[in-house]
Amino acid sequence: MVAVGGHIGDMDLAAGPVLAQNVLAGGRSILLALTPGERGHPRLSVPEYAAQKLSEGRAFADAIGAEFYCWEDQSDGFLVHDEALAQRLALTLRRWRPDVLIAHWHHSMHPDHENASRLAVRARLLSGLPGWHTDGEDPEHQRHGIPHLLFAENWEDEEGFRPTTHVPVSAEAHERWRGAIEGEAFARGETYGFRYVDYYTAQQVMRGCKAYAEFAVAFATEWPYFTEPARFVTT
Ligand SMILES: [Zn+2]
């Protein structure tokens, strides 16, 4: 499983329990942040917070048994959706060859999240595209179709989000997530005061009720073009 977030911490919150569960089941989980999220602290300088975010992101991934990567050359608030970045991400996905790609929902209060969502969708397409780039030549970049694309449930990306899949999470995976996420200052409410840990714990309990499990994480499974009512059907 690969989870691609706009900033360090986004996917830790929204997908972390499922990544932890995947590791407990013997799978490989990878977190990739497309920027550090270094402008998210009201008191620390940008370089100070960038260093802190990288260290918190690594510690979170270690604690749930995942791998951690960040595009440190990209900047919080300035992530764009362009072909060069989509191709860079696609080649990375071809190396990692995930079965499941987790992305931001495409409507968000953060432009970085919206662009990260679009980059993930485009990169998934390119990853599976025959004859693109070094397909057939470089063994690291062989074409790889990613079977599953899941959009994560994130309170910052709520507009138009409709969960269509609930993934049950064991108490053990939830506890691993909870212990790990408390290591991130923003999640503890130390930056702008939002109670992330409480919110996402409550969300996992609520989604667990719907999934008849102790905890669960919900995802939207399709790009909206395929889930909207068929407007052109006449009866
Ligand atoms: Zn974010």
Query: Which residues of the chain register pLDDT less than 70?
Result: 135-136, 222-235
Å from CA of 196 to ligand 1 middle: 12
The whole-number pLDDT of residue 102 equals 97
Beta-bridged to residue 30, according to DSSP, are 2, 67
Query: Residue 175: what residue type?
Result: E
Å from CA of 181 to ligand 1 middle: 15
Å from CA of 114 to ligand 1 middle: 10
Structure-block tokens of residue 1: 């499983």
Alpha helices per DSSP H over 182-225: 196-210
Spatial CB neighbours of 138, under 8 Å, sequence gap ≥ 6:
none
Strand pairing of 148-152 and 100-103? parallel
pLDDT digits (tens, 9 = 90+) for 152-169: 999 999 999 999 899 999
Alpha-carbon dihedral 107, 108, 112, 118, rounded to 10 degrees: -20
Burial bucket for residue 232 (CB in 10 Å: 0-12, 13-18, 19+): exposed
Is-contact 168 211, C-beta < 8 A?
yes
DSSP run (H or E) holding 46: helix 46-64
d(CA 64, CA 21): 9
d(CA 118, CA 83): 10
Burial bucket for residue 65 (CB in 10 Å: 0-12, 13-18, 19+): middle
Å from CA of 157 to ligand 1 middle: 9
Over the chain, what is the mean pLDDT?
Answer: 92
The whole-number pLDDT of residue 226 equals 42
Q: How far apart are the first and last CA of the chain?
A: 42
Å from CA of 51 to ligand 1 middle: 16
The whole-number pLDDT of residue 43 equals 95
Domains, the chain, ordered by start: 2-226 (3.40.50.10320)
Å from CA of 137 to ligand 1 middle: 36
User: What is the DSSP code (8-state) at residue 224?
Assistant: G
pLDDT digits (tens, 9 = 90+) for 34-69: 999 999 999 999 999 999 999 999 999 999 999 999
Model's pTM, two decimal places? 0.93
Structure-block tokens of residue 50: 């960038």
Structure-block tokens of residue 115: 């662009």
Å from CA of 56 to ligand 1 middle: 14
Å from CA of 170 to ligand 1 middle: 26
The whole-number pLDDT of residue 222 equals 66
Structure-block tokens of residue 135: 């397909």
Q: How many residues does the chain have?
A: 235
The whole-number pLDDT of residue 6 equals 98
